[in-house]
Amino acid sequence: MTQNKTVIDIIQKLRDQSIRVFSNKELSAIIGKSSNTTLFHLVRKGWITNIKNGLYALSNLLLEGQPLHEFEIAIKIVSPSWISHYSAMHYHHLTDQIPFATYLTTSGPLPTINSKKSSSIDLLGHQYNIIQQKEEDRNGIEAVWIGSALIDITDLEKTIIDGLAQPKYCGGLREVLHSLSENIDRLNIEKLISYSKDKSSKKRLGWALDKIGIEMQELIPKDKYYILLNASGEDFGAYNNKWKVRENI
């Protein structure tokens, strides 16, 4: 088999499997051998583009009028990972604001950039912010089609819970509270509660629901310890005795 025929066959396999962004390891699995020589020829012929060391994408000529979406690149930066926080808020129409970066979450280690672990990376002129969560917090994820790519993303309720826990990645706490209030008819309250695994999450959710007239008795804390309502904010504000939060907004 000629080199050109081999290259064409590999490109066809990638397209048949709807793989538009891939790593060295993924390509090796497809062709059944080391991918280094193959990658060299694919790049030289202009069939693929080198996004960063070890990460490649089909060239624009092969994308058939469907350019790469930032989400496609995001979930390949680190594995396992899924779209979350401000990016998920925008996708689910929970906010009218357009994030300047793409936010993704991983339950694994951060990627290594220039021999250092990094929570932020710039690829093709776009910024990707990476957030770590514990494996036990990996829930509320759904698969959605973005163009021809199947992308994992937090669902409506998990997006809100993530926002209450880490508002600095969602445009701030006021933005998250506004999203909750404006979209309460779209949200499943029981799912919101089920995603609130710890006492702090329950206190913040209970406080937020109470503010819009929904009191969930099972969320009322039984301990005496106060937490900051805005986990990303400074330590100030009135103490809410019912929900055991300090209203630092």
CA distance 41 to 23: 15
DSSP β-ladder status, 227-228 and 245-247: parallel
pTM: 0.89
> Is the pLDDT reported for residue 49 higher than 90?
no
Distance CA 87, CA 71 (A): 9
CB 214 within 8 A of CB 239: no
> Residue 163: its pLDDT value, please?
97
Question: In the predicted model, is pLDDT for residue 15 greater than 80?
Answer: no
pLDDT per position as a tens digit, 192-220: 999 999 999 999 999 999 999 998 999 99
- Provide the residue type at 96 as one letter: D
Q: Which residues, 6+ apart, have CB-to-CB distance to 166 below 8 Å?
A: 85, 131, 231, 232
In terms of C-beta density within 10 A (0-12 exposed, 13-18 middle, 19 or more buried), how is residue 237 classed?
middle
Distance CA 2, CA 92 (A): 48
- Residue 39 CA, chain-centre distance (Å), reads 28
Topology classification of domain 3-62? Arc Repressor Mutant, subunit A (1.10.10)
pLDDT at 189 over 80: yes
Dihedral sign (CA 117, 76, 175, 195): negative
User: Nearest to residue 226, comparing CAs of 218, 236, 216?
Assistant: 236
pLDDT value at 10 more than 50? yes
Domain residue limits, the chain? 3-62, 72-247
pLDDT tens readout for residues 92-144: 999 999 999 999 999 999 987 767 788 999 998 899 999 999 988 899 999 99
Please state, rounded to an integer, the average pLDDT across all residues of the chain.
90
138-158: average pLDDT: 93
Residue 162's pLDDT is 97
Quote the CA–CA distance of 23 and 77 in Å, as a whole number.
Answer: 9
